[in-house]
Each structure stands twice: as C-alpha cells, then as structure tokens.
Amino acid sequence: MNKIKKQKAELIKMAMKKNPGSELIPCGKRSTLDECFTVFENKILFWFNTTNSSSTQMIYSKM
C-alpha cells in the first residue's frame, strides 16, 4: 500500500473514532469516501458528513 493510501485509511479510522456511533457519509455529490480527499500544500484533506451532524468536517494529515 502506498503512503497516500495509508494516510487516507488512517484519516478514515480517525474520523470513525472521532464520531462513534455515526456513519461517515461522502460529502456533496461524491458517491464514495475515497472521492472525498484533496491534496493541498503537502496535506491531505478529508471532507465528509456524518449521520449525527449535517455539517461537513475536515481532518488533515501532512504528507
């Protein structure tokens, strides 16, 4: 598994831990969580919604 894929998997795990009992839902018109990542200035941004909150959340990790 390459470095970026590992970091994406870690971010999803972190988001799940941060939102226990809530499902992570792709944001906007995205159909999968994998489509909810953006690379910006050596950081990976992860955008998602949860069933417990309608607001979009972001977690980032340095690459």
Q: For 23-36, how does the pLDDT look when each residue is reduced to its tens digit (9 = 90+)?
A: 999 998 999 999 99
Helix, coil or strand: residue 14: helix
Does position 56 have pLDDT exceeding 80, yes or no?
no
Confidence class of residue 63 from pLDDT cuts 50, 70 and 90?
A: confident
pLDDT at 55 exceeding the cut of 80: no
Query: Where does the chain show beta strands of DSSP type E?
Result: 24-26, 37-40, 43-50, 53-62
Domain limits for position 41: 3-62
Is 53 a residue whose pLDDT tops 80?
no
CA–CA distances in Å: residue 4 to residues 23, 24, 40, 58: 23, 20, 13, 17
> How many domains, in total, are found in the chain?
1
